Structure 1
Amino acid sequence: MKTLGLIMIVRDEADLIEKNIRFHAKQGFDYFAIMDNASTDGTRDILEDLSKNIPMRILSQRDTDYRQDAWAGSLAERLSQRGIDIAISLDADEFISGLTSSTFKEIATRLQHPVMCPRHNMVPLKAELSEFAKGSLLATRYRVARPLPTQLPIMLRRMPGKMLFPLRGLRSIARGNHSIEHEIGKRAVSDDALIRHFPVRTYDRFLVKLEQARARFRQERDVSETTSWHIRRWLELMDFGIIENEYKSFFVDGNDIHTYLNDGTIVEDLFSRSL
């Protein structure tokens, strides 16, 4: 059977990183290539502890200009050197699995060419806002299955998927990991795998991540202002002093949930109970 590797670039993900790594190890990932980008919250210590039992390579990156494409490419090269056949690049708040009883590895090892794996947001209810403040991040039980055709509300918009690809023939990974350059030209969209994305975390963490993004944007050169447009929008709202209202909008109002459930925008998804 082919071998499967996971690429991750992380910074201050102590609340999720152990759940993420252990979940994907159970899904059949053989090796993890992880870059710790100047974490200060204990993320690196958690990774070092996990590495005692789960095969992984941990690299340190102190730069904060977040050259995600170049860094992901470097991690892909580490996987190739280990003899890994197939890889995908995910964030710490993303969990990929099959839509059947098969492990993700059983699905991935049938791969003959790069495929796009769909990604859906997991969204909490406004009634759960106080639980999120306590750190109950994975209690979310609703998934955006039929995204709205608009950019707002931001959590209900269509999310670009991420590429699963053979490492042999890989030329580069684009920023965001939503596309790649590969010697194999054929592409397809997976119909038996799904990435569940948990974008809503605590409010304090949200603010910290925004300030990290602000510092990163100041260092960027030749990057379109449409890149990470939603984060740039949030920074503007922060500067106007209304970012807390935006954060609260990430939670689905109890008056809307029945409408969204009835029209299929949102479905109940108990995935988080398996983590």
Structure 2
Amino acid sequence: MFERIKNYFIKAKNSVVKHERIKAPKLFMTILAKNEADIIEHQIIYHRAMGVDGFIVTDNNSSDATREIFEKYKKKGWIKEIICEISNNHDQKKWVDRMIRIASEKYNADWIINSDADEFWCCSSSSLKDELAKTTSNVIYVDIYNIYPHETNKFYENDNLIKNYERVPESIKNKLSPYSIYDKQIQKVIHRTKGYLSIENGNHNVRIKKKSSVKSDNIIIYHYSLRGLEHFKRKMINGGASVNNNEELSENAAQHWRYFYDIFINQGREYQDEYDRVIGTKYFDDMKNNGVFESAYKVKNFFTGYNND
């Protein structure tokens, strides 16, 4: 009932608050990354092909080749600015806000996507700009879905999208991690720069003047949140340490990182056992037969046979 009333008022507001369409919008993407060398080059290449005009990126103390990859695409002119953030307190909101303001004030971006390195924004058309050019809203909400990770595949070869998470049987759900990849994901936003005030942690919402929002039916996010056991271990330990260093974060922020950091570092649980509970290794076939997954070929098809000269 509450959701229906909320949607009614949003639609009523949007019918009154309308913004001028931008026929050829300048689209920028911000990326905050730490040790994402296995995926970040693919992410940049894909979104450039999908219509992103420029990238503002922040490298947070990477110890792998992430920074070198950023430099490569800065030389190509795709990345406009690289910010080297040496802090270890994962102040995401502050760092993303800084990138947004650079994209807006220095490069005159019309629209911005604030993306994590493991998110691929997929549009039913050939360009994300097609969706932006026709809207009179200034905020677009986009659904995000996890991709099931098969250990032996390259990440983009994985095409099982967890679209129907509500079909996970209760008998299986009770055996999974409380932070499994089968949880419903909170929507992300694409927003205009005009009237921008502030971004929320996780890029799930935005404060903006004369807000007029719409839920996209044509854009979804493929979320390659986990890419094997070693990636899981590195992500949870590094992430947990970072959020624990930020006393300004609310207790609700990045709870999954705090949880895994505690059970691995303080409790000494086995990584493999917990990873299997997160991705539901034993129950993959059961969930596939139950219609939990849908095939997602957008990214797979793009990179199959792709030649990056």
Please confirm whether the aligned pair reaches a TM-score higher than 0.5, indicating the same fold. Answer: yes
The code of the aligned residue for 2:293 comes to I
The answer to whether the 8 A contact 2:39-2:118 is kept is: yes
Q: 1:139 to 1:85 in 2, by over 3 A?
A: same
- Larger CA deviation: 261-270 vs 80-89: 261-270
Provide the secondary structure at the position in 1 that maps to 2:181: helix
Structure 1 gap ranges (5+):
none
Provide the secondary structure at the position in 1 that maps to 2:220: strand
Find the counterpart in structure 2 of residue 273 from structure 1: 301
The code of the aligned residue for 1:188 comes to V
Which whole-Å CA distance do the structure 1 matches of 2:90 and 2:117 have between them? 15
The answer to whether the 8 A contact 2:195-2:210 is kept is: yes
Find the counterpart in structure 1 of residue 164 from structure 2: 146
Find the counterpart in structure 2 of residue 163 from structure 1: 189
Which whole-Å CA distance do the structure 2 matches of 1:229 and 1:252 have between them? 20
Find the counterpart in structure 1 of residue 112 from structure 2: 87
Q: Give me the identity figure in percent.
A: 22
Q: What TM-score does the superposition give when structure 1 sets the normalisation length?
A: 0.89
Which whole-Å CA distance do the structure 2 matches of 1:255 and 1:157 have between them? 15
Provide the secondary structure at the position in 2 that maps to 1:41: coil
230, 234, 256: which one aligns with 1:204: 230
Find the counterpart in structure 1 of residue 5 from structure 2: none
Q: 1:253 to 1:207 in 2, by over 3 A?
A: closer
The answer to whether the 8 A contact 1:123-1:250 is kept is: no
Aligned ranges for residues 63-78 of structure 1 at < 5 Å? 63-78=87-102
Residue 201 of structure 1: how far off its partner (Å): 1.7
Find the counterpart in structure 2 of residue 60 from structure 1: 84
Q: 1:214 to 1:91 in 2, by over 3 A?
A: same
Q: 1:256 to 1:62 in 2, by over 3 A?
A: closer
Provide the secondary structure at the position in 1 that maps to 2:217: coil
Q: 1:173 to 1:26 in 2, by over 3 A?
A: same
Provide the secondary structure at the position in 2 that maps to 1:95: strand
Q: 1:119 to 1:255 in 2, by over 3 A?
A: closer
Find the counterpart in structure 2 of residue 260 from structure 1: 287
Residue 264 of structure 1: how far off its partner (Å): 3.4
Quote the RMSD (CA, aligned, Å). 2.0
Structure 2 gap ranges (5+):
1-23, 304-309
Find the counterpart in structure 1 of residue 27 from structure 2: 4
Residue 188 of structure 1: how far off its partner (Å): 1.9
- Larger CA deviation: 111-120 vs 72-81: 111-120
The code of the aligned residue for 2:27 comes to L
Residue 224 of structure 1: how far off its partner (Å): 2.5
Provide the secondary structure at the position in 1 that maps to 2:100: helix
> Max radius of gyration: which structure?
2
The code of the aligned residue for 1:61 comes to E
Which whole-Å CA distance do the structure 2 matches of 1:25 and 1:246 have between them? 36
Residue 223 of structure 1: how far off its partner (Å): 2.5
Which whole-Å CA distance do the structure 2 matches of 1:86 and 1:34 have between them? 16
Which whole-Å CA distance do the structure 2 matches of 1:181 and 1:20 have between them? 26
Report Cα offsets for 1:53-93 as digits up to 9, x if no partner: 24321111111111111111110111112011000101111
Which whole-Å CA distance do the structure 1 matches of 2:209 and 2:123 have between them? 26
Q: What TM-score does the superposition give when structure 2 sets the normalisation length?
A: 0.80
Find the counterpart in structure 2 of residue 116 from structure 1: 141
Q: 1:71 to 1:139 in 2, by over 3 A?
A: same
Which whole-Å CA distance do the structure 2 matches of 1:250 and 1:194 have between them? 22
1:249 aligned onto 2:274: no
Which whole-Å CA distance do the structure 2 matches of 1:160 and 1:214 have between them? 20
- Count how many residue pairs are aligned between Structure 1 and Structure 2: 266
Report Cα offsets for 1:196-218 as digits up to 9, x if no partner: 00011232232222222232233
